[in-house]
């Protein structure tokens, strides 16, 4: 009982800190609460986020603000076709000492930080994109035969333009799967855009203050994994993830005809973490079925693909996910 009381107290204290953090973030990234929540969820879960949206929607501003508010050492890399792996990871250089001796010295690249902003990640070649794979999964990199640990915590928040595809390289499925959530950033509504104009075109802009430290974020990530998840929520996660695998015996005819490949176990793991984070951000002590529905698209869309026939019919992953949720006996009443 004492452990349960302590957990309750810790969760309630963390909820207050998160409320303060969100208030600071929204001073510079105005509106779009869902985008803020999803990005914070990625950090709370110890994962990475892929922000997809047109230029000028504030993706860079959001990530820079997060770095300040969450107390993380942040660095930015603008991905371009000529970017090389060494430009991200770092490289060894030959140094000559005062006594004439020579030795190799490792110069760290920008990946040695706590929050890496990978801007327009799909503009880099697959060779450079692959440099992030080990870092995103294992929190370490191998350079010149030596393995080097990255900072703790370590997060990648990448941006991608969904429209302009000239001179870009699609992200490989293995790398997409390493992103905990896909965050679609859309246009602001009229009231929000008016507020943005007033806040950003004056003589001075609002600044933000630090709310978390890196150590406190690590503690929050540990606490999140202690949050209870009910059996019904877990079963709904498993059923929804497995429903999109076309080779499953229980897959619907529509999924069999439309899905080229479905989500793997990493999707289920992401679900289990992100439903906790959403509940926490909304001031609840445990996730429910509404969290499963809310996190379905961010967790699943980048972990599955439609086949050519489905694309030719004009189908979309959004519509397919919504249809499966509506069909689920467990979720349709909540939806």
Supply 28's token pair: 């510079």
Question: Which CATH architecture fits 228-335?
Answer: Orthogonal Bundle (1.10)
The per-residue pLDDT for range 135-154, each reduced to its tens digit, is: 898 898 888 778 889 999 99
What number of CA atoms fall less than 13 Å from residue 30's CA on the CB side? 16
Is a pLDDT exceeding 70 seen at residue 156?
yes
Question: Do the Cβ atoms of 69 and 212 come closer than 8 Å?
Answer: yes
Backbone angles phi, psi at 159, to 5 degrees: -115, 155
Q: Quick one: pLDDT band at residue 320, thresholds 50, 70, 90?
A: very high
| Helices 265-281 and 214-224: angle between axes, nearest 10 degrees | 110
| Domain limits, the chain | 1-82+109-200+211-226, 228-335
The per-residue pLDDT for range 277-297, each reduced to its tens digit, is: 999 999 888 999 999 999 999
Q: Quick one: pLDDT band at residue 165, thresholds 50, 70, 90?
A: low
Is a pLDDT exceeding 60 seen at residue 1?
no
Other CB atoms closer than 10 Å to residue 313's CB: what's the count? Answer: 10
- For the sheet containing 155-160, what is the strand order? 74-78, 115-119, 155-160, 49-52, 181-184
What number of CA atoms fall less than 13 Å from residue 1's CA on the CB side? 0
Q: What is the pLDDT of residue 35?
A: 92
End-to-end CA distance of the chain: 34
The per-residue pLDDT for range 196-213, each reduced to its tens digit, is: 888 888 777 777 888 999
Least Cα distance to 47 among 157, 142, 121, 143 occurs for 157
Q: What is the pLDDT of residue 222?
A: 94
Other CB atoms closer than 10 Å to residue 98's CB: what's the count? Answer: 5
Class of 1-82+109-200+211-226 in CATH = alpha beta
State the Cα angle at 245 between 269 and 176, rounded to 5°: 55
Is a pLDDT exceeding 80 seen at residue 168?
no
Cβ-based neighbours of 231, under 8 Å, separated by 6 or more: none
Question: Do the Cβ atoms of 287 and 279 come closer than 8 Å?
Answer: yes
What number of CA atoms fall less than 13 Å from residue 257's CA on the CB side? 10
Is a pLDDT exceeding 80 seen at residue 4?
no
The per-residue pLDDT for range 91-126, each reduced to its tens digit, is: 888 777 777 777 778 888 899 999 999 999 888 888
Question: Do the Cβ atoms of 131 and 88 come closer than 8 Å?
Answer: yes
The per-residue pLDDT for range 232-279, each reduced to its tens digit, is: 999 999 999 999 999 988 888 898 999 999 999 999 999 999 999 999
Cβ-based neighbours of 29, under 8 Å, separated by 6 or more: 35, 36, 58, 61, 62, 65
Rounded to whole angstroms, the Cα distance separating 322 from 331 reads: 11
Question: Do the Cβ atoms of 240 and 230 come closer than 8 Å?
Answer: no
What number of CA atoms fall less than 13 Å from residue 242's CA on the CB side? 10
Other CB atoms closer than 10 Å to residue 238's CB: what's the count? Answer: 14
The per-residue pLDDT for range 212-230, each reduced to its tens digit, is: 999 999 999 999 999 999 9
Q: Quick one: pLDDT band at residue 2, thresholds 50, 70, 90?
A: low
The per-residue pLDDT for range 45-92, each reduced to its tens digit, is: 999 999 998 888 888 888 889 999 999 999 999 998 888 888 999 888
Per the DSSP assignment, residues forming a β-bridge with 116 are 75, 156
Q: What is the pLDDT of residue 10?
A: 87
pTM of the model: 0.90
Is a pLDDT exceeding 70 seen at residue 329?
no
């Amino acid at each position: 009982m004492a452990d349960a009381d302590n957990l309750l107290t810790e969760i309630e204290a963390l909820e207050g800190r998160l409320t303060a953090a969100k208030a600071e973030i929204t001073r510079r990234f105005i509106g779009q609460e869902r985008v803020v929540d999803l990005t914070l969820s990625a950090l709370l879960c110890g994962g990475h986020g892929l922000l997809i949206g047109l230029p000028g929607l504030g993706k860079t501003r959001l990530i820079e603000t997060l770095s300040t508010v969450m107390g993380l050492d942040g660095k930015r890399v603008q991905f371009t076709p000529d970017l090389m792996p060494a430009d991200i990871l770092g490289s060894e250089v030959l140094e000559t000492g005062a006594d004439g001796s020579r030795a190799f010295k490792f110069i760290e690249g920008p990946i040695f930080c706590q929050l890496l902003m990978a801007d327009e990640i799909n503009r880099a070649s697959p060779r450079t994109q692959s440099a992030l794979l080990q870092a995103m999964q294992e929190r370490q990199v191998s350079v010149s035969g030596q393995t080097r640990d990255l900072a703790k915590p370590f997060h990648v928040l990448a941006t991608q333009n969904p429209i302009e595809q000239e001179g870009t390289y699609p992200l490989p499925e293995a790398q997409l799967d390493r992103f905990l959530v896909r965050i679609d950033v859309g246009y602001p509504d009229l009231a929000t855009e008016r507020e943005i104009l007033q806040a950003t075109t004056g003589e001075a802009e609002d600044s933000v203050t630090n709310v978390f430290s890196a150590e406190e974020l690590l503690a929050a990530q540990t606490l999140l994994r202690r949050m209870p998840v009910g059996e019904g929520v877990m079963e709904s996660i498993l059923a929804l993830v497995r429903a999109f695998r076309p080779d499953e015996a229980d897959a619907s005819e529509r999924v069999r005809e439309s899905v080229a490949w479905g989500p793997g176990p990493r999707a289920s793991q992401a679900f289990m973490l992100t439903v906790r984070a959403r509940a926490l951000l909304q001031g609840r002590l445990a996730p429910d079925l509404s969290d499963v529905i809310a996190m379905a698209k961010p967790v699943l869309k980048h972990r599955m693909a439609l086949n050519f026939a489905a694309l030719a019919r004009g189908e979309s992953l959004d519509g397919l996910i919504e249809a499966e949720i509506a069909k689920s006996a467990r979720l349709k009443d909540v939806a």
